[in-house]
Amino acid sequence: MEVLLEGEGELLAWHDPDEMRRWVAENKSKELVDKRMELREAVKKFVSDGCYIAFGGFGHVRVSMAVIYEIIRQRKRGLVMAGKTAVHDVDILVAAGCVEKVEVAYSFGHELRGLSPASRRAVEQGRVKVASEWSNAAFQWRFLAAAMGLPFIPTRVMLGTDTLRKSSAKVVRDPYTGKPICLVPACYPDVAVIHVHRCDIYGNCQIDGISVEDFELARAAKRLIVTTEEIIDHERVRREPYRTIIPYFLVDAVVEVPWGAHPCNMPYMYYFDEEHIAEWLRLSRTEEGVREYLDKYVYGVDSFEEYLELVGGVRKLEYLKRLEQLREELKIPGR
């Protein structure tokens, strides 16, 4: 095919699909094995310095904050992040010095809450590099290409935009019509982390509500850590096979972490902790504030359970549960 235009962004997390198929065949077992691990063990085993990491969920929804805090606590460095609608996750990891590069679709903002002071400082000061830019759709289709075992996906998105110029996509002449078409390269993260509503000990996962890119991401990643609100009996999974979004053979670690998305939202279970997010945004305006937050909520506790007690314990968590169930009115910080 005739290449008409090439993006100037850095090509990351791309592999020859046939090589990836061989890697999966040699490294991912189809046996039903108990994959339960402690949070500390899963992060130590599967998240290495310099790896390419992607988090499931969307924005402030269904994000595995328990793993993010543990990554910071273990002082991982040089991470490359997939910033596909990554907000609180990428912001706090960048602020903690864990991230070296980000591929950006939607990052460095907290949606209606405003921009990310800590991430902005890091990018402006050159401590974190924006390796490439994408649209949300293009990034999700990169995971889709990897999940399908394809080197790329053809699409019309990004054509005629500066986003394409900042990406690592290519524009080629379509052999059927002779018109330009955009090819977005597959993305194979070294490790993905996805928080789910429930799964069994083998890793068969159920997600309530929209799954966003997690269906594709789970199938694209080389390694997959699943954190779950609860572990359910395998027989329940067998009775409801249609609810399994992520099958066991994709999963490398299962970590049971109730409230594991806090301070983010877990659909149908608990609402955003707006008070805590506002505290982070206030403190992260300065490097001193970032250190204060991390010392208090990450380095100053030994576990995610201790963190939950620190942010308000059962009383706060039950309040967030009632908010999600529309049984309580939201108390807006600062009002």
Q: Which domains does the chain have, with CATH numbers?
A: 3-137+187-263 (3.40.1080.10)
Percent residues over pLDDT 70 in the chain: 99
Pairing of strands 3-6, 52-55: unpaired
Six-digit token string for 59: 């924005």
pLDDT per residue as tens digits for the range 114-141: 899 999 999 999 999 999 999 999 999 9
Residues 6 or more apart from 258 whose CB is under 8 A from it? Answer: 229, 230
**Tell me, what's the pLDDT at 334?**
65
- Average confidence (pLDDT) over 170-184: 97
Residue (of 15, 21, 32) closest to 237 by Cα position: 32
Q: Is the pLDDT of residue 289 over 80?
A: yes
CB 197 within 8 A of CB 208: yes
pLDDT value of position 114? 87
Q: Are 216 and 147 within 8 A, CB to CB? A: yes
Q: With bands split at pLDDT 50, 70 and 90, how would you rate the model's confidence at 16?
A: very high
Whether pLDDT at 333 is above 80:
no
| Mean pLDDT value across residues 270-288 | 97
Place 332 in a pLDDT band, splitting at 50, 70 and 90: confident
Quick one: DSSP state of residue 328? S
Task: Answer whether residue 162 shows pLDDT above 90.
Answer: yes
Q: What residue type is assigned to position 76 of the chain?
A: K
Q: Up-side HSE of residue 272: CA atoms within 13 Å toward CB?
A: 18
Whole-prediction pTM: 0.96
Instruction: For residue 309, give Cα distances in angstroms to 140, 231, 303, 315.
Output: 36, 22, 10, 9
- Residue 268: the pLDDT is 98
pLDDT in tens, 42-71: 999 999 999 999 999 999 999 999 999 999
